Amino acid sequence: MDQYYLNILAKKMKIAPEHVLREYYEMAILQAFSETNLTQKMIFYGGTSLRLAYNGPRFSEDLDFLMIKSITEKELRNVLQNVCNNNESLSLVEVKDKKNTLFALIKIRHPSLKHPRHIKIEISKKKNGIKSEYRLLYSQCSNFSPLIQTITLESLEKLKNIVIKERKEPRDWVDLWIIANLLKKKFEPTVDFPFDGKEFKRELKRFLPQNKWMIIDQILMSVKKII
């Protein structure tokens, strides 16, 4: 992506250019997955799936999947290396087969970035009972529209409600708020709100377009933490 077009998109989308650039390359990776049988072996989930499959407003830094059929380190490496070969700003840092996760890291170097950025890809091997469906992914940052096996909103809601009990991340709370709105349900977190309001706002403003910052106040009002 050239710098002129990147700046135009970032201004239009009211978000920092690095988020636009990362999403552009995320879509290239997802397109590559859709052109192989990998999409039959894993389910796309997490915050990035909420954005790209369901038009959620929050930008995300990682690509998360759940493995449903065996995927080898070599299979993943071959696909990702091909993506990097076709995008001069990308380089494959590592692919590692861990105990519970097939992990990969891609580095982004671009004239618009003072420092390199990364896209982390994690394919969890843990058993799950989630439901999925094939969905066309969409982003203003890309002309690709990959067809990817993706978690359903209902299953994603269940997972997020589990996650907020295990970790304290503002992004999980905004994701739950978005899911509740998409499902036309009342936003009712299952745990107490664990954040200082100012820290919560500061963290989420990094990942939400400026014209969506009001979501943060809506969440704080919902949990009776008006700061």
Give 25-82 pLDDT, tens digit per residue: 999 999 999 999 999 999 999 999 999 999 999 999 899 999 999 999 999 999 999 9
Is it the case that residue 117 has pLDDT exceeding 70?
A: yes
* End-to-end CA, the chain: 40
- Parts of the chain belonging to CATH 3.10.450.620: 1-151
Angle between helices 17-34 and 73-85 (to 10 degrees): 120
Q: Provide CATH code, domain 1-151.
A: 3.10.450.620
Cα 35–40–43 angle (5° rounding)? 105
Please say if the pLDDT value at position 136 is more than 90.
yes
Average the pLDDT over 95-114 and give the result. 95
pTM of the model: 0.94
92, 106 in Cβ contact below 8 A?
Answer: yes
| Per-residue pLDDT at 178 exceeds 70 | yes
DSSP category for residue 86:
T
Phi/psi at 44 (5° precision): -75, 130
Supply φ then ψ for residue 178, to 5 degrees.
-65, -45
